[in-house]
């Protein structure tokens, strides 16, 4: 299980950081390019808050929280022997995403976001701009929630 977890964590981290590197090198801040007009854009912004742009301006507190969360999740991933494949996958996705955004926070001073699902035909756009790491954390948490709902004892 640990080997698979490491592969998942490193894959998320690599894909996240490579995508952000591409965006930073090829886009100007706030530049937006339509991929699917009125639905999906690549829009380069930075974010000092948490996933999906929440809690802007709390960078130092979020940095400490992220480090503590990464330590706790690392302990869960690498010390427990009784986790199911589902738990290992979920915790690995969360950890990979958390490390990806922490890397940005430490080396760039802000998180790079670029995935813009912009539903112009919708009265109020429900999706903030996000990145691969945010998606990974969200998918991991969703897996844990669904698993806990359907596998109650």
What is the number of other CB atoms lying within 10 angstroms of the CB of residue 129? 22
User: Residues 16, 104, 116, 134: which is the catalytic one?
Assistant: 134
Query: Is the backbone of residue 84 left (phi > 0), alpha (psi -120 to 50) or beta?
Result: beta
CA dihedral defined by 16, 108, 95, 50, rounded to 10 degrees? -100
Q: Token pair for residue 150?
A: 């359907």
Cα separation, 90 vs 98, whole angstroms: 12
Q: Is 113 a catalytic residue?
A: yes
Buried b / exposed e along 65-100 (16+ C-beta atoms within 10 A):
ebeebbeebbebbeeeeebeeebbbbbbbbbbbbbb
User: Residues 16, 104, 113, 116: which is the catalytic one?
Assistant: 113
Q: Token pair for residue 143?
A: 């897996």
Active site residues: 113, 134
């Amino acid at each position: 299980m640990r080997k698979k977890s490491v592969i998942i964590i490193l894959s998320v981290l690599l894909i996240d950081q490579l995508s952000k590197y591409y965006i930073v090198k090829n886009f100007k801040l706030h530049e937006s390019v339509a991929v699917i007009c009125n639905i999906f854009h690549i829009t380069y912004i930075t974010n000092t808050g948490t996933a999906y742009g929440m809690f802007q301006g709390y960078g130092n507190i979020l940095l400490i929280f992220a480090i503590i969360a990464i330590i706790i999740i690392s302990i869960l991933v690498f010390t427990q022997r009784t986790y199911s494949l589902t738990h290992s996958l979920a915790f690995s996705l969360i950890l990979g995403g958390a490390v990806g955004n922490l890397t940005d926070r430490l080396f760039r001073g802000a998180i790079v976001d670029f995935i813009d699902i912009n539903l112009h035909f919708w009265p109020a756009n429900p999706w903030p701009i996000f990145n691969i790491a945010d998606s990974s954390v969200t998918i991991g948490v969703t897996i844990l929630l669904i698993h806990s709902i359907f596998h109650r004892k």
